A and B are shown apart, each in its own frame.
Chain A
């Protein structure tokens, strides 16, 4: 059970750090936008990847889908890949 609390803490910390990183990237992009030096598409892909990872972490460790086998294991993954995919198509193409 100690293991469970520890895992919970680690996942939570990871999620918060990823969130902070997203915010920082957002600030940097606004600054970079003005000076016109950055590649918006790279920023976008990083932000999207982080978002997908965060969603997957929630699914696996908070919703405990990592204890499930079969179709339902991948339900959140399926959703985030589809949603992320559509967003990517819209932003990049």
Chain B
């Protein structure tokens, strides 16, 4: 066990094909973030004005929810390395709870915006805000589906200390979703 932790591997943990997929997703988000930043540079007043209408407190809670969710995924993997299937299953369940909390809070935000008649054509800031967060939202949904599959599999005893590649791969995707939000949150909600 100890030896395995100190030997470095050439490839990232999990399926390499999935890592290439992760890179592709990161590339799309990076371009979107850059587009936001550069568009803002030509519309500073507009962006500052409407950024102030966003619910930063809810966004903070959302960040905590995603971080907790990722924390639990890591815990699940540590557990499975000790062949503790039940504990791993519990941790995965908690990670799904965190993800769902994010989805619910985000939907609350969106409902609020919709009730004020805000949509993609309202102005340039809202177009970016809605596009970026919705794009991320869809990835959270996909992440929840993946986590659910992982949860089912772990519950069935599919993963063991020696064989849990699927768990690691799915986890890597989820961490990517978390990581993207860690840029999105300060960029759109806070940086003025």
Check if A and B associate.
Answer: yes
Task: Name A's B-contacting residues (CB within 8 A).
Answer: 1, 4-5, 8, 12, 15-16, 19-20, 22-23, 25-27, 29-30, 33, 40, 43-44, 47-48, 50-51, 54-55, 58-59, 61-65, 67-70, 72, 75-76, 79-80, 82-84, 86-87, 89-91, 93
Q: Which residues of B contact A87 (CB under 8 A)?
A: 33-34, 37, 187
- Closest CB in chain B relative to A38 CB, distance in Å: 10
In chain B, what residue has the closest Cβ to A19?
B63
Q: Which residues of B contact A84 (CB under 8 A)?
A: 183
Q: How many residues of B contact A (CB 8 A)?
A: 51
| CB atoms of B30 and A58 under 8 A apart | no
Identify the stretch in B68-76, B99-107, B126-134, B150-158 within 8 Å (CB) of chain A at 4 or more residues.
B68-76
- Closest CB in chain A relative to B27 CB, distance in Å: 8
Known pairs A22-B190, A23-B190, A87-B33; A55 contacts B179 (CB<8 A): yes
A–B complex contacts, Cβ < 8 Å, 28 sampled: A1-B81, A5-B75, A19-B63, A19-B67, A23-B56, A27-B56, A29-B190, A40-B192, A44-B191, A51-B183, A51-B186, A61-B74, A62-B70, A62-B73, A63-B13, A63-B171, A64-B12, A68-B10, A68-B13, A70-B10, A72-B19, A83-B29, A83-B30, A86-B30, A89-B37, A90-B37, A91-B37, A91-B191
